[in-house]
């Protein structure tokens, strides 16, 4: 079975705190792709990162960082020094190699950054 679990439904932190959004996935495929998207209140889904299953390097982009661990089937997302503009719903998604372009989405985590 293919599945993406984002166990945190909602997280609320005060501005400047660090926050980690969890993503755990299930797949039997050896080749797959993981994505993170941000959906601010305006509604547009914004692509953040793509990670291939054969590339376990962690990535940092400004205040954003991603920790990909195949051993625990996790692809967690950390925001350092959070800002109010980071408030959004964040989705983790999985795509199988032979999925016919279907993305398997997590339920999303609503992140609230309080000033």
Partner 1 sequence: DAMVIQNPRYQVTQFGKPVTLSCSQTLNHNVMYWYQQKSSQAPKLLFHYYDKDFNNEADTPDNFQSRRPNTSFCFLDIRSPGLGDAAMYLCATSREKAGSSYNEQFFGPGTRLTVL
Give whichever of 11 and 15 is closer to partner 1, judged by the CB atom.
11
CB burial of residue 105 (10 Å; 0-12, 13-18, 19+): middle
Please, which of residues 82-101 interact with partner 1 by CB under 8 A? 91, 95, 97, 100-101
- Token pair 């982009």 is at which residue? 61
Q: Is 64 in the site for partner 1 (CB under 8 A)?
A: no
Structure tokens at 115: 């000033």
* Size of the residue set binding partner 1 (CB under 8 A): 22
Nearest to residue 5, comparing CAs of 73, 83, 99, 79?
73
Q: Is 62 in the site for partner 1 (CB under 8 A)?
A: no
Enumerate binding residues for partner 1 (CB under 8 A): 33, 35, 37, 42-47, 50, 52, 91, 95, 97, 100-103, 105-108
């Amino acid at each position: 079975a293919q599945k993406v679990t984002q166990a945190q439904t909602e997280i609320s932190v005060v501005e400047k705190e660090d926050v980690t959004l969890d993503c755990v996935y299930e797949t039997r495929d050896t080749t797959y792709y993981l994505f993170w998207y941000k959906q601010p209140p305006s509604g547009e889904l914004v692509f953040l990162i793509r990670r291939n299953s054969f590339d376990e390097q962690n990535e940092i982009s400004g205040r954003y960082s991603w920790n990909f661990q195949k051993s625990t089937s996790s692809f967690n997302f950390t925001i350092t020094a959070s800002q109010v503009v980071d408030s959004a719903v964040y989705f983790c998604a999985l795509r199988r190699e032979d999925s016919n372009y279907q993305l398997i989405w997590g339920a999303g985590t609503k992140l609230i950054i309080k000033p």
